[in-house]
């Protein structure tokens, strides 16, 4: 009697080379993504004064995530947004500046007519 893992391996081995490579690449990417999920506080301490883009893992609050997978960081926000634009549309991404928003002595006010968080949608 063969296990499900053995059956899966046999199935992958029977695939044509391009399909086999695609399946292996997808599995490795999935495994890599799981390992890269980090605590946001840890990321904040590593990248002060930079823009960060985090892919929010399933199960996290999309408006207030506590962990995520770092996809880009830079003091230049255009570099970060360029990386975000390359992601598939269905990815939940949290982008923020990890530093003071305004210089000391200044205040910033935001006008929100709907009083709800806005979620950016890329593409389309």
Question: Which CA distances in Å does 21 have to 8, 18, 87, 90, 102?
Answer: 14, 5, 21, 24, 49
Report how many domains make up the chain.
Answer: 2
pLDDT single digits (tens) 42-82:
999 999 999 999 999 989 998 899 999 999 999 999 999 99
Pair 47, 13 in one domain: no
**For 3-46, how does the pLDDT look when each residue is reduced to its tens digit (9 = 90+)?**
887 888 888 888 888 888 887 877 776 666 555 889 999 999 99
CA nearest neighbour of 108 among 93, 95, 97: 97
The structure tokens listed for 9 are 């391996």
- Same domain? For 72 and 31 the reply is no
Residues 55 and 20 grouped into a single domain: no
pLDDT at 18: 85
Question: In terms of residue numbers, what domain contains 116?
Answer: 36-124
**What global pTM score does this model have?**
0.58
59 and 13 belong to one structural domain: no
Q: Which position has the higher pLDDT, 117 or 20?
A: 20
pLDDT at 23 (0 to 100): 79
């Amino acid at each position: 009697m063969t296990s499900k893992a053995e059956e899966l391996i046999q199935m992958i081995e029977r695939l044509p080379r391009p399909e086999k490579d695609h399946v292996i690449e997808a599995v490795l990417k999935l495994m890599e993504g799981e390992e890269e999920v980090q605590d946001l506080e840890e990321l904040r301490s590593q990248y002060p004064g930079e823009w960060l883009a985090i892919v929010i893992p399933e199960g996290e609050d999309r408006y207030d995530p506590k962990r995520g997978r770092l996809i880009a960081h830079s003091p230049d926000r255009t570099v970060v947004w360029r990386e975000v634009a390359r992601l598939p549309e269905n990815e939940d991404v949290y982008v923020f500046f990890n530093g003071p928003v305004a210089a000391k002595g200044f205040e910033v006010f935001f006008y929100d007519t709907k009083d709800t968080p806005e979620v950016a949608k890329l593409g389309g």
